[in-house]
Amino acid sequence: MKNAAVRILMISLACVPFIILSFLSSSPSGTRSVMWEPGERSPFIQSPLPSERVSLIHDSDRGIFVTVENEPVYFSVFPPSNDFTSVDVRMDFDPHDAFAVELGGMTNLAAYAFDFRALSNSVLEHLSWNALLNADTTSTLFVFAKDDVKATVEDFVLHQPSRGAVVTYRATLPGTYRESSYVPLGHEQTFTMSLRGSHEYVTYIKNEPFHLELDYQDINRTFGADEGFVRVYDEHGTIMLDRAFTDDGNISEDQYASLHTIALDGAAWPEGVYRVVLSGTSDVMWRVLTTSQRYMAFKNRLYIGDDVGYLDSDRKTSFVTNSKSIAFETFHAESAHHITLGTSMIDIPKSHEVIRSTISDTGIVAGVTDAGDVKMTGEGKFAPSAQAFFDPDPRPLTTQTNLNDASIRYVYADVAPKMFHDSGWRTAGATFDLATLATEAGAYKFALSLPGFATDAQTIDVHRLTMTFHKAPMSLFAAMKLELRRWRTAIHEML
């Protein structure tokens, strides 16, 4: 008995340094900061990737930094522990004359979707319009008025002009969109087009039933289960319908495709804009979409998949869009493309190369792809027909936006304020709720994007990344008690 007590005492004394270190690493204060600087290795923050998009620079005056030469770049972050609830991401950087620098946290691994926040925007920083004051000094929301309007951001929100007079940047204009002349369609319409992976569209409902029927395929070209869901939200973010679907039982990559149908129905819903999310992996092809709603306008993205295994030959796909800056990409070597869009002809000569195009045509423009397997990403909406198109959102601020347009009177923006360190580097950041972020292999993934890269061809320099994690603080006594209990259990297990 005496020997056992001595052994426990000796082990306990030997473990004291580890207990202290464990206590400190548990962050009883509720905060823990980790940092990465170029040229250094961090156990928490990985260097930006892919490496061919960044260059390490040693400068005698500015120190060591990386130059981002193409976008996007990604970095993974391992939290010090799994009990943190939010993280402040701060970046020390030099945007030079880049149109915008944006930081995003990944929210959906299957869709590879990110929640982007603006760190800088050169257009707004040099805009000579009147900047309306914000009563909340911690807010990053700004209103820029072309006219000398003596008002606050709060006044602007309460007494909004027409949405056609407002341009937004990384901000959702409060309030609701209403279409006074809207009349329900009154019958079903069917769109036969192959859409690959996750998509999201908006529609409008006015005291009418909701119906959506989807024929989709699990094409089994990549290994793993292909699960997803179809979810409908109202304009307040409330889930109206939610239907999950499971894998077809084949998780191999044998390219054996299976066809399925999913249908959603709702009673007469009140007037408003509704958002429909089609979530699925890259092995999910939405082949036929039947709806009783008049509108089906996809947000920012249209990924037209191929028809291999579904039709005898790849077909042309028609669409319309109001996007003026579009990135095109195909993913198979044999899938060279020609896309007609308004008066423009866009060529995609080879796979895995992003082709960016500026559309000079005004208004809504009709387009057609000569085959499938082409992803289009733009700042506006895409629809399968002109009759199905509508856009309830204000125009976004892009490199193509003409702020001299007489109809544009305001910019409503969410962007970090311009701040500098003593060293001359700019610092900006954003806070993310960790519950809203997805993880991959135990790490959170962030993206650094330069939305205007295609047109201004500017680089940015990154000097430092700092991640400050937050959770509820613990008292010294409670933290020590928790650590001692954990170590006592470990010691007894060793014995």
The enclosing domain of 422 has a CATH number of 2.60.120.260
Same domain, 482 and 434: no
Per-residue pLDDT at 21: 46
Strand runs labelled E in 43-121? 54-59, 63-68, 73-77, 86-94, 100-108, 113-121
Same domain, 48 and 78: yes
Alpha-carbon distance 445 to 114, whole Å?
Answer: 9
Residue 115 falls within a domain, yes or no? yes
Same domain, 461 and 481: no
Same domain, 342 and 378: yes
Q: Which of the listed residues 322, 355, 389 is the one where a domain comes to its end?
A: 389
Q: Which of the listed residues 389, 404, 430 is the one where a domain comes to its end?
A: 389
- Domains: count for the chain: 3
Minimal CA–CA distance to 298: which of 182, 175, 195, 186?
195
Residue 13 falls within a domain, yes or no? yes
Same domain, 71 and 96: yes
Same domain, 112 and 51: yes
Alpha-carbon distance 409 to 403, whole Å?
Answer: 8
Residue 402 falls within a domain, yes or no? no
In this structure, are residues 83 and 73 in contact, taking their beta carbons and an 8 Å threshold? no
Residue 459 falls within a domain, yes or no? yes
Same domain, 10 and 64: no
Same domain, 459 and 447: yes
Neighbour count for residue 22 (Cβ, 10 Å): 15
- Checking if the pLDDT of 318 tops 80, the result is yes
Going by pLDDT thresholds of 50, 70 and 90, the confidence category of residue 24 is very low
Which has more pLDDT, 3 or 47? 47
Residue 259 falls within a domain, yes or no? no
- DSSP per-residue letters across 152-202: BHHHHHHT---GGGEEEES-PPSS----TT-----S-EEEEEEEES-EEEE
Residue 284 falls within a domain, yes or no? no
Q: What is the pLDDT of residues 140-159, one digit of tens each?
A: 888 999 987 777 888 888 88
Overall pTM surpassing 0.75 (yes/no): no
Same domain, 324 and 369: yes
Helix (H) or strand (E) holding 131: strand 130-132
How many degrees, rounded to 5, is the angle at CA 351 between CA 349 and CA 352?
Answer: 125
- In this structure, what DSSP letter does residue 436 have? G
Alpha-carbon distance 351 to 377, whole Å?
Answer: 16
Helix (H) or strand (E) holding 228: strand 228-233
Q: What is the pLDDT of residues 57-100, one digit of tens each?
A: 999 888 899 999 988 999 999 999 888 999 999 999 999 989 99
Same domain, 479 and 466: no
- Per the structure, the complete domain to which residue 483 belongs is given by 2-26+474-494
Residue 249 falls within a domain, yes or no? no
Same domain, 112 and 86: yes
Residue 453 falls within a domain, yes or no? yes
Same domain, 365 and 430: no
